């Protein structure tokens, strides 16, 4: 039974005790919000004397009120009309009980209203919690998405929401984004036409998509650190009534993918070039062999002509004798260069032997500077003639030629061109350095200098230093590079020395 009904039933029970048992001292108490409704002793005596008939009317009215929520006064009037005429004092009792019934009914109705209000509040709270849970769940999905997402509001396109992927894309926290205009934060989007596209989506409600959009997300123009490549979609953002209130942007950062594709294309092109160079190397070996024969003949003819002139007692200052001597010297030098080229191009099995460092340096200078006649640097060599190393001469010569050429190219535009090559013994290792007076290298270039296909030259392949590192490390040494405080760059590598003293029978000097 409901608490409201209990109030009235307690009223009936107490009234019944007064009326049926004729308790002259009885006082009827009805619970009422805010206090108690009392019947004094005089009323109790009257009810005890004439309460039987009154009781019939009152209890009938109360039961009707409880069962069908009948109006209190109307119920008492209906029940009292069914009996004979009432005396005045009996009518007063009936009126008193009518007021009491009305009070009880008001309590019932007030509590019903409170219950209905509480139920509505509970339903509204549950709905609000459901909406909040749905919003939180959607927010978590947005946060965990690998795609970048952002909501801009109004025709000014002010950021209202961004997810973590968007923060990573633009390299800024959402605190620096929310409430600010897209064009204000990223001026480059004006140049590439993104803002007009967002304006059109906001105006028409028609979505827009684009692939491989290159966008610079820096606060200043042309900052390469912030250049990204994205696939981008812009949707109209609507409120609950379906009105467009902003633009929802989402997409994928494909910068790494595009960079990888570009690198594959670059590597493919470079590999084709390597194959072409390899073919040219084979041709160079053949060409060197073919040229060596006529050069030998030229040298022999020049030597023979020189002997004939001497036999005819030609003067030493005779121009013909001088020309023949020059021809013989030039042909010998050309033959020497060709022999070195043939050795470098030869596809031979690597062999380790005791080599004289000064011989390797001499060969490297003659080959490495062969096409720098007009920009010939000043060369200073500081290598003890007796300094030996255990190495494959062809491979180490390749390393030295590469370093010499790199240094000469780095100094091509420098007013002072100085190339220093030095070698010293450190423990059981030989330390060899090649230093130039060029502009030096940037920090990023130094960090990636020995990685494959990394180059600072427009036409370079980026394999020379990587191959050099492989060769030196295969010999048990190390290679490094650093900028000099006074300018220029120094490359340094090490080779193992022979375990026992070694003496070379012949020298390849000259």
Domains located in the chain, CATH noted: 3-116 (no CATH), 145-253 (3.30.450.20), 261-347 (1.10.287.130), 349-510 (3.30.565.10)
pLDDT at 28: 39
For the whole model, what pTM was predicted?
0.44
- Give the 3-state secondary structure of residue 347: coil
- Give the 3-state secondary structure of residue 220: coil
For 396-448, write each residue's pLDDT tens digit: 988 999 899 989 988 888 888 899 999 999 999 999 999 999 888 888 788 77
Please write down the long-range contacts of 30-35, taking CB distance under 8 Å and 24 or more positions apart: 30/100, 30/103, 30/104, 31/7, 32/103, 32/104, 32/107, 33/107, 33/110
Report whether pLDDT(478) > 60. yes
Q: Which residue reads 């970048």 in tokens?
A: 148
Identify which has the larger pLDDT, 78 or 182.
182
Mean pLDDT, the chain, integer: 75
Q: Which residue reads 């029970």 in tokens?
A: 13
CB 94 within 8 A of CB 86: yes
pLDDT at 201: 94
CB 492 within 8 A of CB 481: yes
pLDDT at 457: 57
Q: Which residue reads 């019939």 in tokens?
A: 56
Provide the β-strand partners of residue 381. Answer: 421
- In this prediction, residue 36 has a pLDDT band, given cuts at 50, 70 and 90, of very low
pLDDT at 34: 35
Cα gap 136→90, rounded to integer Å:
68
Report whether pLDDT(248) > 90. yes
Query: What do you get for the CA distance between the two ends of the chain, in Å?
Result: 123
Report whether pLDDT(296) > 90. no
- In this prediction, residue 356 has a pLDDT band, given cuts at 50, 70 and 90, of very high
- In this prediction, residue 262 has a pLDDT band, given cuts at 50, 70 and 90, of confident
Strand pairing of 35-38 and 29-32?
antiparallel
Complete DSSP assignment for 125-152: HHHHHHHHHHHHHHHHHHHH-SSEEEEE
- In this prediction, residue 461 has a pLDDT band, given cuts at 50, 70 and 90, of low
- In this prediction, residue 144 has a pLDDT band, given cuts at 50, 70 and 90, of confident
Report whether pLDDT(20) > 50. no
Report whether pLDDT(33) > 50. no
CB 509 within 8 A of CB 433: no
Share of the chain above pLDDT 90, in %: 22
Cα gap 290→342, rounded to integer Å:
11
pLDDT at 22: 38
Least confident of 64-73, 81-90, 298-307, 404-413: 64-73
């Amino acid at each position: 039974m409901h608490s409201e009904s209990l109030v009235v039933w307690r009223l009936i029970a107490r009234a019944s005790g007064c009326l049926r048992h004729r308790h002259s001292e009885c006082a009827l108490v009805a619970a009422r919000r805010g206090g108690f409704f009392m019947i004094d002793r005089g009323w109790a005596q009257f009810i005890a004397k004439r309460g039987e008939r009154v009781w019939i009317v009152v209890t009938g009215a109360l039961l009707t009120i409880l069962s069908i929520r009948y109006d209190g006064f109307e119920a008492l009037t209906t029940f009292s009309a069914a009996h004979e005429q009432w005396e005045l004092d009996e009518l007063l009792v009936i009126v008193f009980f009518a007021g009491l019934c009305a009070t009880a009914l008001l309590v019932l109705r007030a509590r019903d209203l409170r219950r209905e209000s509480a139920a509505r509040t509970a339903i509204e709270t549950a709905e609000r919690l459901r909406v909040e849970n749905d919003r939180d769940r959607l927010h978590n999905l947005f946060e965990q998405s690998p795609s970048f997402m952002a909501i801009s509001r109004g025709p000014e396109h002010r950021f209202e929401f961004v997810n973590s992927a968007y923060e990573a894309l633009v390299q800024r926290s959402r605190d620096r984004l929310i409430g600010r205009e897209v064009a204000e934060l990223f001026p480059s989007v004006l140049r590439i036409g993104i803002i007009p596209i967002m304006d059109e989506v906001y105006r028409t409600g028609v979505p827009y998509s684009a692939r491989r959009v290159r966008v610079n997300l820096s606060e200043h123009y042309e900052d390469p650190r912030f250049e990204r490549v994205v696939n981008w979609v812009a949707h109209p953002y609507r409120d609950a009534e379906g009105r467009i209130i902003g633009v929802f942007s989402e997409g994928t950062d494909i910068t790494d993918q595009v960079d990888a594709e570009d690198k594959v294309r670059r590597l493919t092109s470079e590999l084709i070039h390597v194959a072409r160079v390899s073919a040219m190397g084979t041709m160079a070996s053949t060409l060197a062999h073919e040229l060596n024969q006529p050069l030998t003949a030229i040298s022999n003819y020049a030597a023979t002509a020189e002997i004939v002139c001497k036999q005819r007692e030609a003067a030493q200052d005779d121009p013909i004798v001088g020309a023949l001597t020059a021809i013989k010297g030039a042909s010998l030098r050309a033959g020497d260069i060709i022999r070195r080229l043939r050795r470098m191009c030869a596809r031979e099995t690597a062999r380790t032997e005791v080599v004289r460092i000064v011989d390797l340096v001499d060969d490297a200078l003659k080959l490495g500077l062969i096409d720098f006649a007009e920009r010939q640097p000043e060369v200073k060599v500081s290598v003890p003639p007796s300094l030996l190393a255990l190495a494959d001469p062809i491979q180490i010569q390749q390393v030295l030629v590469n370093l010499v050429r790199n240094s000469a190219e780095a100094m091509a535009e420098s007013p002072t061109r100085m190339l220093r090559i030095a070698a010293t013994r450190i423990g059981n290792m030989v330390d060899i350095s090649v230093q130039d007076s060029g502009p030096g290298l940037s920090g990023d270039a130094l960090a990636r200098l020995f990685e494959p296909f990394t180059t600072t030259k427009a036409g370079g392949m980026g394999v020379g230093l990587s191959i050099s590192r492989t060769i030196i490390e295969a010999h048990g040494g190390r290679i490094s590079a650093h900028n000099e405080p006074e300018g220029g760059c120094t490359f340094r590598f090490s080779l193992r020395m022979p375990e026992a003293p070694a003496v070379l029978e012949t020298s390849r000097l000259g």
